[in-house]
Every structure is written in C-alpha cells, then in structure tokens.
Amino acid sequence: MTQTMGLRERRKIELVSRVHQVAADLVAEHGYDGTTAALIASHAGISQSTFFRHFETKADAVFWPLDGFVDAVETFEPPATPAELRPALNALYSAHFASQDDANTRFLIWVHALTTSDVPLRNALAARERCIQDVLHSRLKAAGLPATLETILSIEYCAALSATAIRHLACNVPLDQATTKQLVQVHHQVAALPLP
C-alpha cells in the first residue's frame, strides 16, 4: 500500500512538474496574458479538469517552484524578539535561494529576466511576493511579535534584498559584497528614521 502511495505521489509530482514546464514555455512564447489555463492544459496533454485538480489558477502553474518556499514560510518559527528577526529571515531566504545552481533560484532568475519585457508577469510575481510577505506578517502576529516598524521593515528588506540579488543574476551582474553591504547600510539608516 505504501509503495502504491509512493508511486502515486511520484506520478503527481511528475505531472505537476511537466505542466509547470509547459506553462513556463508558453509564458516565454506568448507572454503571461497570452497564456491561459486552457492553453496550458492543451499543450500539456491533459483536460482542464485535471489541470484545475492540481492548480487553482494559471499563476499557480507558472510559479509552482515557489511552493516549497511558501511551505517554509507557512511553518516559519519566528524568534522571540524583533532584534532576532532579520537574521532569522535571512536564514529562511538563504536556505532556499542561496545557490545560483539551485532549481528555485534558476527559476526566479528566468522569471525576473522575462519581467523586463512582460509587465503582466512582473505584476503577477509582485502579487505572489506580497502574499508571501503577508503570510510572514501573520506568522509574526500569531507568535506575539508586535507589528513594529522594525519587524515590517525586516520582512520587506529581506524580500527586497533577495529579489534585487536575483534580478542582478538575471542580468548576469551578481551583487558583490560591497553592494550588499551598502544595501544593508541603507536599511539600517531607514530603520533609524524618527517617526513623524
């Protein structure tokens, strides 16, 4: 029975992975707006009902490689104090996007490269990133961490630094250590601004 379940699970992952690849290829060819769930299903050789059994929307198919990161965010255990939050978030992002050879990172490099000319795709990615930040905010709230300026900035800073690094990789200009330090310094300066 366990072997059967294992086989089913493998087949499901293979199917989902194949549909995602078809979706990605179609977005590259037709643009995000020009790619529909029906088109993805047709090119993947599956029915629309099968497509919607595995994905709620076409965005879910296109951004499927991010699901692992979303799962990690949903189970993220916030630290006890706001001061420990930024290192914890850095570790969370680094665990998933630390290596340029990692499949998740390669996917995001590909997406960011396409977003330079595909505004709808850029907007869809931004919406996905905002959802991830919203989940982080809810995790902090559930853990009793106050929604202070520091915690809000820490979440947005880590997300922005990760996205900036990946955009640079998409342009074949990886961030050097000095640039990264400058970005961190800017974050500290903004965090130190007095509230109005």
**What tens digit of pLDDT does each residue of 141-181 get?**
888 887 777 778 788 877 877 777 777 666 666 656 666 66
Which of 16, 20, 17, 49 minimizes the C-alpha distance to 35?
Answer: 20
Q: Which residues contact 102 (CB under 8 A, 6 or more apart)?
A: 96
Question: Phi/psi at 91 (nearest 5 deg)?
Answer: -65, -40
Q: Is 13 exposed, middle or buried (0-12, 13-18, 19+ CB in 10 A)?
A: exposed
Residue found by looking up tokens 């709230």 in the block: 141
Q: What class, spelled out in words, does domain 1-61 have in CATH?
A: mainly alpha
**What string of DSSP letters covers 116-153?**
TT-HHHHHHHHHHHHHHHHHHHHHHHHTT----HHHHH
Q: Is 50 exposed, middle or buried (0-12, 13-18, 19+ CB in 10 A)?
A: middle
> ∠ at Cα 103 (124, 125), nearest 5°?
10
Please give the pLDDT value at position 184: 62
pLDDT digits (tens, 9 = 90+) for 69-95: 888 889 889 888 888 888 888 888 888
- Supply the mean pLDDT for the chain: 83
Q: How confident is the model at residue 1 (pLDDT cuts 50, 70, 90)?
A: very low
**Range from 16-25, 115-124, 154-163 carrying the lowest mean pLDDT:** 154-163
Tokens found for residue 153: 């900035």
User: HSE of 142 in the Cβ direction (CA atoms, 13 Å)?
Assistant: 11
Domain map of the chain by residue range? 1-61, 63-196
